[in-house]
C-alpha cells in the first residue's frame, strides 16, 4: 500500500462524490473526520457501559447485598466480573478510542495540513475491527459463566485455569476482544505515523507541528513498541486455557510471574498512550485561552520523548510484592521516581504558559485547568506507590485505586471534555452551550473528588481493593461511611453528565453557528471550513510559522495563524 498522493485523492474524491451513498458516507466511511467521530461516539457510548458497571459495584460497596437499580442484587462472582470489565472497558474501549483514535483521527490530518490520512481504507478498516472487538466484548457478558473476572490485568493462575473462576468462554472472548482492539489500534498508529511523516503541508516542518500531533505520534510509537510482548503473553495465556499448556502454571513447571512482566512491560507505556493525547489537547487549549505562546515547545517534546523511553524501564514497580528479586526493587523505584521529572517539566511549561496570560475561562479551558490540577494529585501519589518501601504497604489497597483514578479520570474525561468543548465548533460547525458546559464542569470535577478522595483514606487504613463486601471485616466497619460518601459522590457525578448529553444532542442541531476560527486560534485546523468538507482545505496551504504565535509585539491582532 502506498500513501495516497494529492492527485490520487482528488481523483478519488470525484469518484466518491458521484456515487457516495449513505453507507459510504456515514457507515463505511474512509474520511478521517467521520472515522474520528465514529470512534468518539463509540467511546462515549462505551462510557455508559463502563460507568454502569462502576455504578453497580459502588452501590454494592456502599450498601452490600441491596438491590442495584435495573439489575438487582449482585453476587461475588458478578462483582469480580464487573470490576474486571469496568477496568478493561475504561482503558481500552473508552480512553483509547476517544483520546487516541477519536481526536487523533479527526485532528491529525487537519493539523498537519493533509487532505486525509495516508491510508484511508486501512483507517476505515481500523474502525470496523474496533467495532467488532466491541461486539465480542459485550457478547462476553452473555455467555454461560459470564464475563472475565480475573481483573483487568488478567493475572494467571487465576486467568489461566478456568476452574478457578468458573469463567470459561468469558475469558476466551476477553482475550479475543482485546486482540481485535489492539489490531485496530495498530492500524491507526501506522496511519498516524505515515500521515505525519509523508503528508504535511508545504512549510510544515516537524518543529512547526502542534504538540498534539507530536503526542499522538509518540503515543503510537509507545503502543507499537510495547504491544508485542503482551500479544505473546496473551497467546500463551490462551494456550494455557485451551490447549492445556503450562506456561503460567507452577504445577506444570510454568511461572505466573512471566505474565506479569509481559503485561506491565506493555501496561506502563499503555497508560502514557492515554496520557499523551490528553496532554496534547491541553497544549492546544492553554495558548489559545491565555493568548500566549506555548512555553517551552521543544522542552515539552523532548520531555515527552524521554518519558516515553523511561516508560519502558519502570514496569516492575507493579510487582514489588509479587516475588521478584528484591534487588530489582531499588532500580525500578529509581526509574519510576525519575520519570516524574519530564512530566514535571511539562507541567511547569503549562503553568508558565498561563502565567500572566489574559485567561478566558471558556468551558474547554476550565476542563483543561481541571485536568492538570487533578492529575497533579494522581502524579504526586504515584511517587508514594513508586517507592518500594511504601508500596509494600500500599499495594492492592484503595490508595492505589485512588491514585490511578486521579490520573486516569482527569486524563480520560476531563481531557476529553476539554477537547470536545473546544473542537465541537470545528466538528459540527456549531457551539456547545457554554453555560451548561460550566455547570457540567463544576459538577463533574467537584463530585469526582468526593468519589475518590475517601479512597486514599481507606487505602491508608489498609482497605484492600477488589473486596466484595467490606462489612464482613471488623477492621473496615469504621470506614464504611466513606464508601457511602464515595457512592453518593458518584451518583451526583453521573447525574452531572445529563446536562452534557442534552447539550451535546441539542447543540448538534440547534447550537449557535460557528465560523472557521471562533476562538482565534493559530493552528491549521482553524483554516478549514467548520465543519471541513472533503479534502479538508479549500485554500492552498503554505505554512510559514509555528503553531502558537499569540500576542506578538508590534502586531495589530493578537495572533498569527500558521499560514499568515
Binding site for Cu ion (CB under 5 A): 268
In the complex, the smallest distance separating the C-beta of residue 459 from ligand HEM, rounded to whole angstroms, is 10
Judged by CB, which is closer to ligand HEM: 301, or 451?
451
Q: What, of ligand HEM, Cu ion, none, does residue 268 touch, CB below 5 to 8 Å by kind?
A: Cu ion
Helix (H, G, I), strand (E, B) or coil at 430: strand
User: 198-237 mask for ligand HEM (x: CB under 6 A)?
Assistant: ----------------------------------------
Judged by CB, which is closer to ligand HEM: 403, or 405?
405
Scan for cell 501519589, then name that residue: 381
- DSSP sequence for 151-194: TTTT-TTTTT-HHHHT-SHHHHHHHHHHHHHHHHHHHHHHHHHH
Dihedral angle over CA of 368, 370, 374, 380, nearest 10: 60
* CA dihedral over 40, 45, 48, 50, signed as positive or negative: negative
| C-alpha cell read off for 8 | 490520487
- Cα 155 to chain center, whole Å? 22
Judged by CB, which is closer to ligand HEM: 4, or 467?
467
Q: Does 401 bind ligand HEM (CB under 6 A)?
A: yes
| C-alpha cell read off for 101 | 483514535
| C-alpha cell read off for 168 | 470459561
Alpha-carbon distance values, 447 to 179, 368, 378, 412 (Å): 35, 17, 16, 16
In the complex, the smallest distance separating the C-beta of residue 26 from Cu ion, rounded to whole angstroms, is 39
Q: Does 345 bind ligand HEM (CB under 6 A)?
A: no
In the complex, the smallest distance separating the C-beta of residue 386 from Cu ion, rounded to whole angstroms, is 8
Q: Does 134 bind ligand HEM (CB under 6 A)?
A: no
Which residues within the stretch 63-92 sit at the binding site for ligand HEM (CB under 6 A)?
Answer: 83-84, 86-87, 90-91
Give the residue, chosen from 3, 145, 151, 529, that forms a contact with ligand HEM under the rule CB under 6 A. 151
Strand partners, 397: 464
Q: Does 318 bind ligand HEM (CB under 6 A)?
A: no
Nearest by Cα to 391 from 310, 465, 317, 315? 317
Q: What, of ligand HEM, Cu ion, none, does residue 84 touch, CB below 5 to 8 Å by kind?
A: ligand HEM
Q: Are 100 and 185 in contact (CB under 8 A)?
A: yes
In the complex, the smallest distance separating the C-beta of residue 474 from ligand HEM, rounded to whole angstroms, is 19
Question: What is the C-alpha to C-alpha distance for residues 245 and 160, in angstroms, rounded to an integer?
Answer: 10
Judged by CB, which is closer to ligand HEM: 174, or 214?
174
Q: Does 412 bind ligand HEM (CB under 6 A)?
A: yes
Give the residue, chosen from 40, 44, 49, 54, that forms a contact with ligand HEM under the rule CB under 6 A. 54
- DSSP sequence for 499-537: HHHHHHHHHHHHSPB--S-TT---SGGGTS-SS--TTS-
Positions touching ligand HEM (CB under 6 A) are 51, 54, 57-58, 83-84, 86-87, 90-91, 95, 151-152, 401, 405, 408-409, 412, 451, 465-467, 490
Amino acid at each position: 500500500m502506498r500513501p495516497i498522493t494529492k492527485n490520487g485523492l482528488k481523483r478519488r474524491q470525484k469518484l466518491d462524490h458521484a456515487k457516495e451513498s449513505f453507507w459510504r458516507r456515514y457507515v463505511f466511511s474512509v474520511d478521517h473526520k467521520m472515522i474520528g467521530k465514529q470512534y468518539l461516539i463509540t467511546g462515549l457510548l462505551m462510557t455508559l457501559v463502563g460507568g454502569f458497571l462502576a455504578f453497580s459495584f459502588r452501590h454494592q460497596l456502599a450498601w452490600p447485598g441491596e438491590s442495584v437499580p435495573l439489575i438487582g442484587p449482585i453476587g461475588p462472582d458478578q462483582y469480580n466480573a464487573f470490576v474486571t470489565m469496568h477496568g478493561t472497558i475504561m482503558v481500552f474501549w473508552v480512553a483509547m478510542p476517544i483520546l487516541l483514535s477519536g481526536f487523533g483521527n479527526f485532528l491529525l490530518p487537519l493539523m498537519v495540513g493533509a487532505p486525509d490520512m495516508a491510508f484511508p481504507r486501512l483507517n476505515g478498516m481500523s474502525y470496523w475491527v474496533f467495532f467488532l472487538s466491541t461486539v465480542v466484548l459485550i457478547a462476553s457478558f452473555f455467555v454461560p459463566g459470564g464475563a472475565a473476572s480475573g481483573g483487568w490485568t488478567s493475572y494467571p493462575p487465576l486467568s489461566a485455569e478456568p476452574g478457578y473462576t468458573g469463567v470459561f468462554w468469558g475469558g476466551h472472548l476477553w482475550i479475543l476482544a482485546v486482540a481485535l482492539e489492539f489490531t485496530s489500534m495498530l492500524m491507526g498508529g501506522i496511519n498516524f505515523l505515515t500521515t505525519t511523516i509523508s503528508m504535511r503541508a508545504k512549510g510544515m516542518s516537524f518543529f512547526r507541528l502542534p504538540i498534539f500531533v507530536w503526542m499522538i505520534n509518540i503515543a503510537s510509537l509507545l503502543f507499537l513498541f510495547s504491544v508485542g510482548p503482551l500479544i505473546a503473553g496473551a497467546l500463551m495465556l490462551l494456550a494455557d486455557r485451551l490447549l492445556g499448556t503450562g506456561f503460567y502454571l507452577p504445577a506444570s513447571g510454568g511461572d505466573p510471574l512471566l505474565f506479569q512482566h509481559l503485561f506491565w512491560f506493555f501496561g506502563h507505556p499503555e497508560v502514557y498512550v492515554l496520557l499523551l493525547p490528553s496532554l496534547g489537547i491541553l497544549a492546544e487549549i492553554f495558548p489559545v485561552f491565555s493568548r500566549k505562546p506555548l512555553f517551552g515547545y521543544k522542552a515539552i517534546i523532548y520531555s515527552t520523548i524521554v518519558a516515553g523511553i523511561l516508560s519502558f524501564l519502570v514496569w516492575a514497580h507493579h510487582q514489588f510484592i509479587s516475588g521478584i528479586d528484591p534487588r530489582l526493587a531499588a532500580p525500578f523505584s529509581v526509574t519510576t521516581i525519575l520519570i516524574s521529572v519530564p512530566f514535571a517539566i511539562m507541567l511547569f511549561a503549562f503553568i508558565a504558559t498561563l502565567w500572566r496570560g489574559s485567561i478566558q475561562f471558556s468551558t474547554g479551558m476550565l476542563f483543561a485547568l481541571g485536568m492538570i490540577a487533578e492529575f497533579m494529585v494522581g502524579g504526586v501519589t504515584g511517587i508514594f506507590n513508586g517507592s518500594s518501601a511504601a508500596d509494600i504497604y500500599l499495594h492492592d489497597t484503595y490508595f492505589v485505586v485512588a491514585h490511578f483514578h486521579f490520573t486516569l479520570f482527569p486524563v480520560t474525561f476531563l481531557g476529553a471534555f476539554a477537547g470536545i468543548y473546544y473542537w465541537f465548533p470545528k466538528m459540527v460547525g456549531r457551539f456547545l452551550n457554554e453555560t451548561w458546559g460550566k455547570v457540567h464542569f463544576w459538577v463533574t470535577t467537584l463530585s469526582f473528588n468526593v468519589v475518590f478522595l475517601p479512597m486514599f483514606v481507606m487505602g491508608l487504613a489498609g482497605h484492600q481493593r477488589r473486596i466484595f463486601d467490606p462489612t464482613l471485616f471488623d477492621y473496615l466497619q469504621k470506614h464504611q461511611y466513606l464508601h457511602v460518601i464515595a457512592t453518593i459522590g458518584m451518583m451526583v457525578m453521573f447525574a452531572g453528565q445529563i446536562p452534557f448529553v442534552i447539550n451535546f444532542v441539542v447543540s448538534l442541531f440547534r447550537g449557535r453557528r460557528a465560523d472557521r476560527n471562533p476562538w482565534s486560534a493559530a493552528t491549521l485546523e482553524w483554516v478549514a471550513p467548520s465543519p471541513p468538507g472533503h479534502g479538508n482545505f479549500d485554500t492552498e496551504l503554505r505554512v510559514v510559522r509555528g503553531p502558537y504565535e499569540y500576542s506578538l509585539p508590534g502586531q495589530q491582532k493578537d495572533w498569527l495563524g500558521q499560514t499568515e
